[in-house]
Structure 1
Amino acid sequence: MPIYFSYGRLMNPTIMTSRCPSAKALGPASMDGYRFIVTSEGVPSMVKAPGKRVHGVLWDCRIGEVAVVDGAEALFRKGVDKVFLPVRSGRQNKSAIIYVSRTARIGKPHAKAWEGVLAAAEHWDFPETYRDELRQWDLR
């Protein structure tokens, strides 16, 4: 089953379950060497940044649900790349599907794309410093 790393609204269990009811949460994970941003299109993404870390959630998805995630991540609009990168889960690295915007221009979160992000960070008990970083985006 494909493993998907969500660091936006699909890390929220309620939202993910509504889209992919068979997906199983494997728990919190992180990407070292990247930082979280919101692009000029209003969607979460990440950019390379030594010493930084993006927190998210690993999901074990059925093959058929990957197409649903592709749609939710706007892969078909051509502004997003779908890549496989190592993600840290506990003491292990796991290869995961990750969606990254092609633009690194900073913007303000779009309401739909931002829905549930802060609640998910609380739910998964991300580090408080990271939650503060996310809250700063919420205030823009």
Structure 2
Amino acid sequence: MPIYFAYGRLMNPKIMASRCPQAKPLGPASMDGYRFIITTEGVPSMVKAPGKRVHGVLWDCRIGDVTVVDGAEALFRKGLDKVFLPVRSGGQNKSAIIYLSRTANTGKPHAKAWEGVMEAAEHWDFPETYRDELRKWDLR
């Protein structure tokens, strides 16, 4: 089963269940060496940043779910790369599907793309410092 690293709205269990009801959460995970951004398109992405960390959720997806996630991610993104990168979960590195914007230019969050992000950060009990970082985007 493919593993997907969600760090935007699809880390929210309710939103993910509406898209991929068979996906199973594997729990919180993180990407070292990256920082969270909102692109000029208004969607979450990550850019390389030594010493920084992006928190998200790993999902064990069915093969058919990957096309659903592709569609959900592409809904707002034109310049997007789908890559496999190592994420850290439970003290182990796991290869996961990750969607990254090709731009590092930042903007304001699009309401639909931002939906459920803060709720998910609370649900998964991300570090308070990371939630504060997300709140700064929420206020833009």
One-letter code aligned to 1:103: T
1:1-140 map, 5 Å: 1-74=1-74, 78-140=78-140
Unaligned runs of 5+ residues in structure 1 are: none
TM-score, normalising length: structure 1: 0.98
Identity %: 88
One-letter code aligned to 1:26: L
Alpha-carbon distance between aligned partners in 2 of 1:30 and 1:76, rounded to the nearest angstrom = 23
Using a 3 Å threshold, how does the CA distance of structure 1 residues 136 and 17 change in structure 2: closer, same or farther?
same
Unaligned runs of 5+ residues in structure 2 are: none
Using a 3 Å threshold, how does the CA distance of structure 1 residues 104 and 126 change in structure 2: closer, same or farther?
same
8 Å CA contact 1:70–1:76 kept in 2: the answer is no
TM-score, normalising length: structure 2: 0.98
Alpha-carbon distance between aligned partners in 2 of 1:34 and 1:124, rounded to the nearest angstrom = 19
C-alpha displacement of 1:76: 9.2
8 Å CA contact 2:45–2:100 kept in 1: the answer is yes
Alpha-carbon distance between aligned partners in 2 of 1:132 and 1:76, rounded to the nearest angstrom = 25
What is the CA deviation profile of residues 6-26 of structure 1, one whole-angstrom value per residue up to 9, with x for unaligned ones? 000000000000000000000
8 Å CA contact 1:75–1:81 kept in 2: the answer is no
SS at match of 1:49: strand
8 Å CA contact 2:77–2:101 kept in 1: the answer is no
Alpha-carbon distance between aligned partners in 1 of 2:77 and 2:38, rounded to the nearest angstrom = 17
C-alpha displacement of 1:77: 5.2
C-alpha displacement of 1:52: 0.1
